[in-house]
Structure formats: structure tokens, C-alpha cells
Amino acid sequence: MSPTDVVNHMLKTDAFSNWLGIELIEIKEGYSKIQMLVRAEMLNGLGIVHGGIAFSFADSAFAFACNNRNNLSVALDTSINFVKAVHIGDTLIAEAIEMHNGKSTGIYHITITNQNQQTVALFKGTCFRTGKLVMNEGI
Amino acid sequence: MSPTDVVNHMLKTDAFSNWLGIELIEIKEGYSKIQMLVRAEMLNGLGIVHGGIAFSFADSAFAFACNNRNNLSVALDTSINFVKAVHIGDTLIAEAIEMHNGKSTGIYHITITNQNQQTVALFKGTCFRTGKLVMNEGI
Amino acid sequence: MSPTDVVNHMLKTDAFSNWLGIELIEIKEGYSKIQMLVRAEMLNGLGIVHGGIAFSFADSAFAFACNNRNNLSVALDTSINFVKAVHIGDTLIAEAIEMHNGKSTGIYHITITNQNQQTVALFKGTCFRTGKLVMNEGI
Amino acid sequence: MSPTDVVNHMLKTDAFSNWLGIELIEIKEGYSKIQMLVRAEMLNGLGIVHGGIAFSFADSAFAFACNNRNNLSVALDTSINFVKAVHIGDTLIAEAIEMHNGKSTGIYHITITNQNQQTVALFKGTCFRTGKLVMNEGI
């Protein structure tokens, strides 16, 4: 079962990532690169995109990277820095890079950029590896 | 202009918080308490609620607390610890408490609990105070 | 073996906490309160106390709280917000409160205050519980 | 005044960085690379190096990177993940990379490695730029 198989399985049933409109660009072991388009319903009350949208997008990239060896991993602690405001119509790209792949835990850096290659947010995630499978071999 | 006036103004135009179904419970200077109901479209691919939902909910509580003196404040750095899985049908409550109210920055702790008074996530947010108004006096 | 026994055992061999001059005020299950006096060798190049001193002090409070059930726990992810500058001669107090006591992980908030009851830093720590003993029963 | 001038000025009066034994390897605008040797007085009560030592070392690298344009910058929010235990006799290297250089704030990633090129800790720092000088032009 390849990392791409695992992520395709995850994304298929991931209702919120589908609401966000997330599309896969590249999946490798411990790595993911995804994109999405920002829509009007993602705005906050200050006229810019809600911080939760950028976080959610990065968190999906994190999940797709840290689970794709088919070792079910859950987020323990995550943080995000907001560098630049995001606007309606922006196309965002998130790239998740594995900084540490431990037996019980893993650490990932996710960078979100916009269509002008500007960094809009920096995310760091620590996950706990449960040892369970994300998807069964036979499926 | 009261803290409640400012937050009502923010929430009215906050499309994503409205999508989340956020309702105000209590607003005071530097404080907010809000609630929401978890729906099926908020699930991730592991069968539990997407981490971005809890983050977004806490981030709204953060925004409602740190902006309600009508000093426009933007999130700089935020982090969240996921303590307990969230399920469809859960009613979540987020309470934002001001830990520091500085001239240029502020720090807030947000605790999310479920309908059984169990803590599901702990959020910390640092904001930057721009000195601009959230809403004009005359409006 | 009481929480105080475990912490006394830890502190006795904790060379760096001893260099910091840390003294115990109160130890309870999942809780610690400690103090230290700030000295000239703790300054940084900007004329205020080095951020690493406040972090180290909070990190010791964290260790004393999260290990004192004699379940050896190691720090995974920690963060600290610096709220107010610390000066030579200040007496600092750190109080560690357990926010979550899970089977594999724990979360603690540590607040550092000075002799004027002003908050100088806010620390959050996530630990991983190894299941090993901090000290053997017979000692 | 070069970035190296500013950092040399900072390090000269940085009592705690001197206690740590920090030496400069390379300083560039918004960048620093430093090293130190781990000594016995840096141990904690669990027989490994105190987390505050790795934090302090990274925090110095952060300060040397974010202040070296001679724009006095103070740490707002920092976090560190501990990946691998550090032992007496280890030589640590910290490299600080600027992820964002904003007008009021900056974000830096600092990676600490040991003499075997193994990552031991990952640090992220957000600073606030005060607009004051670190050192006067005439000095």
C-alpha cells in the first residue's frame, strides 16, 4: 500500500477537507503537497480570511504527511504563525515536510504560500503514533 | 461602544464563524464565551472531527476577546493542544481569558469543553494590536 | 513514595536547577510551585535577563509536576510567551498546573510571576509518559 | 555597522551566553550559526541535559539573528520541540534562519544538531521589533 493509497483513502472520507476544496499535488512517504482556492464563505469579521481556514488547510497537509505510512497518527500539539493576510480568490499551497520521524512521535513543518509564492503562514505539528492502521491491507 | 457591540458587529460579517454555527454566550472586556454544535461536514478522514474545526472555533473566541475594546488586533502566533476527540453532535463551548493586555500585544488562553464538561482542546493566542478601529464610532 | 519524595530525589541530582538556585515551595500530585533569585550571570546582551533563564525555570517546574507520580515523563513540545522583562535581584515564582493527565501524554501550564505579583512569562508544556520509574521503590 | 559588529557587541555583554560557552560560527543579515560544548553542570535530575540548556542556546541564536540589523527586537513567543536527548560532552550547533522579516515582527526557525549531525531540537521564535538601536553608530 503506497503513501498515495493511504491519503486517497483518507481524503475520500474527509468531509471538511472536501468542503475546503483541497486537492492533492504530491504525496510521498512523510510528505504532502496540497492546494485549495479561497472562497467568500471563508472570510472572518475583519474582512480577511479566517485564521481557522489557513490552520485547517495546514492541518490536513500535516495529517496526509504523518499518516501516509499507514501508521495512524493523531495531532498532539500544533502551532501556526500568520505572516500575511489571505484574500478571496487566492490559491494556497501547503507543503508538509517531516522534521522528525520517531517511534512514538513525529514533527512536521508546513509552509503555506499563495499564488505569488509569498509565505502566508508557518505551521508546526507534533503527532503521536498510535500503532493502529489507517486503512486495512485488504481494502 | 460596548464590547458586545463590537463582537456583534464582527460576528454579523464573519462568514466562516457563521458556517461553524457559532453563538455568543457572554462577552466582556477582554473575554468571550461562545458555543457551537458539531455537524457531519466537520469530520476528517479518520472518523473524528477535523482539528481545524476546534482550532477555528477557539480562534473565533480569541478574536472576539482580543478585539472587543475596539482596538483592531490580528493573530501573530497561536497554538492548540488536542486533548480529547470531538464527535458529531457534540456541543462545544470555548472560553477566552486574557492573560496579558499589553500596548502592542496581548495573550489569551482559550479552553474548549464539550457538553460533558470535558476539556477537548487548549489554545493559546498572541495578538498584535494595530491601533486601528474594528468599527467606527458613528455606525 | 510521595510526590515530594520524587521531586526531592530529582532536585538533588539536577545540576542546572541547582545552578539556577531553585527552591521548592510546594509539591502535590501533578503540581509544583518553586522559586529562584535572579543573579547577574543570568543577563543577556540587551541588559535584561536571558529568555533561557525564565524558560529553564518554568521547565524545571514542569518536570517537577509531570514526573512526581513517579512515571518518568519527557518534554515533547513546550512554548513560552515573554510578557515582562526580568531584572537582576527579582525573585521569581513558577507555578505548574496540570491541564491534562493522559495515559501517554500530559499538558501543563506554568505561570512565572515576580516579587510584585506581576506575570513575567507564560509557559505551556506537553510531555510523553515513558512508563519507566523516576526512582526505584527501595531507595 | 555590520551584522557581525552588532552580534559581537551583544555577545560581549551577554553573561549567560558566555556561561553557556557560546561561540560564533557565522553571522549574516537575519542569520546566525553558533556552537557550544555541553558540560556536567548542565544536567537535569533525570541524567540528561536540562531542556533549558537547549532552549537557551537556541534563544541566543534567535537573538543574534533577529537583532543583527541593529533593530532591537524582543522575543514574544517561542516554542521548542525536543527530538533527541543531549549528553555531556556533546558539541551542539544552532542555525537560525529567518522565515519572515516584517516591519513590526519577525519569525525564525532554529535547528539544533549534535556532533553526529543529528537533530536534537527544533525551535521557533516570533519577535517584536522595537525600532530602537541595539548599539549606537558611534561605538
Kindly report, residue by residue over C71-92, the tens digit of the pLDDT. Answer: 999 999 999 999 999 999 999 9
Reported as a pLDDT band with limits 50, 70 and 90, residue D136 is confident
Task: Give the Cα separation of D83 and D73 in Å (integer).
Answer: 28
- The answer to whether the Cβ–Cβ distance between D80 and C76 falls below 8 Å is no
ipTM above 0.85, yes or no: yes
pLDDT higher than 60, residue A137 = yes
Q: In angstroms, what separates the C-alpha of B139 from chain C's closest C-alpha? A: 35
For A74-84, what is the mean pLDDT? 94
Task: Name D109's bridge partners.
Answer: D97, D124
Residue of C73, C105, C123, C124 best to disrupt the A interface, most CBs of A under 10 A? C105
Put simply, whether D114 touches A (Cβ < 8 Å) is no
| pLDDT at residue B130, as a whole number | 93
Asked if residue D69 is part of any domain, the answer here is yes
Alpha-carbon distance values, D7 to B42, B117, C23, D53, D72 (Å): 49, 51, 34, 20, 12
Asked if residue D86 is part of any domain, the answer here is yes
pLDDT in tens, C112-136: 999 999 999 999 999 999 999 999 8
pLDDT higher than 70, residue A138 = no
| pLDDT at residue B73, as a whole number | 96
Reported as a pLDDT band with limits 50, 70 and 90, residue A136 is confident
Chunked into runs of 10 residues, chain B (139 residues) has average pLDDT values of: 95 97 98 98 91 98 97 95 95 98 95 98 96 81
For D84-103, what is the mean pLDDT? 96
Q: What percent of chain C has pLDDT over 70?
A: 99
pLDDT higher than 90, residue C50 = yes
Task: Give the Cα separation of D17 and D61 in Å (integer).
Answer: 10
Task: Give the Cα separation of D123 and D110 in Å (integer).
Answer: 5
pLDDT higher than 60, residue C37 = yes
Angle made by CA atoms A62, A63, A69, in degrees to the nearest 5: 110
Q: In angstroms, what separates the C-alpha of A86 from chain C's closest C-alpha? A: 26
| pLDDT at residue D47, as a whole number | 83
Asked if residue B116 is part of any domain, the answer here is yes
Smallest Cβ–Cβ distance between D124 and the set A102, A119, A124 belongs to A124
* Cβ within 8 Å of B, A 39-98: 40-47, 50-53, 55-57, 59-60, 63, 67, 72, 74-82
Asked if residue D56 is part of any domain, the answer here is yes
B97: left (phi over 0), alpha (psi -120 to 50) or beta: beta
For residue A32, give every residue at least 6 positions away whose Cβ sits within 8 Å of its Cβ, in sequence order, or none: A7, A24, A26, A61, A64, A65, A68, A94, A95, A96
**Range with top average pLDDT, A72-76, A102-106, D55-59:** D55-59
Alpha-carbon distance values, A43 to B4, B16, B69, C50 (Å): 20, 6, 21, 40
- The answer to whether the Cβ–Cβ distance between B99 and C122 falls below 8 Å is yes
Smallest Cβ–Cβ distance between D15 and the set C15, C43, C51 belongs to C43
Alpha-carbon distance values, B35 to A48, B22, B82, B83, B90 (Å): 22, 6, 18, 18, 10
- The answer to whether the Cβ–Cβ distance between C126 and B81 falls below 8 Å is yes
For residue B129 the three cell numbers come to 494590536
Q: What percent of chain D has pLDDT over 90?
A: 94
Check: CB of residue D61 under 8 Å from CB of residue D109: no
Question: Who has greater pLDDT, A137 or B122?
Answer: B122
Asked if residue C52 is part of any domain, the answer here is yes
D128 chain-B contacts, CB cut-off 8 A = 104-105
Reported as a pLDDT band with limits 50, 70 and 90, residue D74 is very high
Residue of D97, D100, D120 best to disrupt the A interface, most CBs of A under 10 A? D100
Q: What percent of chain A has pLDDT over 90?
A: 94
Instruction: Please report the sign of the dihedral spanned by the C-alpha atoms of residue B39, residue B119, residue B84, residue A96.
Output: positive
Asked if residue D92 is part of any domain, the answer here is yes
For A90-106, what is the mean pLDDT? 96
Range of the domain at A113: 3-129
Beta D91-101 vs A23-28: how paired, if at all? unpaired
Residue contacts between C and D (CB atoms, under 8 Å): 141
B124 chain-C contacts, CB cut-off 8 A = 79, 81, 122, 124
pTM: 0.95
| pLDDT at residue D138, as a whole number | 61
CATH number at residue A82: 3.10.129.10
Put simply, whether C124 touches B (Cβ < 8 Å) is yes
Put simply, whether D124 touches A (Cβ < 8 Å) is yes
| pLDDT at residue A139, as a whole number | 47
Mean pLDDT of chain C: 95
Strand, helix or coil for residue D106: strand
Length of chain C: 139
Q: How many domains, chain B?
A: 1
Chains contacting D (3+ CB pairs below 8 angstroms): A, B, C
pLDDT in tens, D45-68: 888 999 999 999 999 999 999 999
Asked if residue A136 is part of any domain, the answer here is no
| pLDDT at residue B133, as a whole number | 94
User: What is the rounded (10 degree) CA torsion for B108, B113, B117, B119?
Assistant: -80
Put simply, whether A103 touches B (Cβ < 8 Å) is no
| pLDDT at residue D81, as a whole number | 96
Chains contacting C (3+ CB pairs below 8 angstroms): A, B, D
Check: CB of residue B11 under 8 Å from CB of residue B24: yes
**Dmax of chain D from CA atoms?**
49
Asked if residue C137 is part of any domain, the answer here is no
Smallest Cβ–Cβ distance between C16 and the set D42, D67, D77 belongs to D42
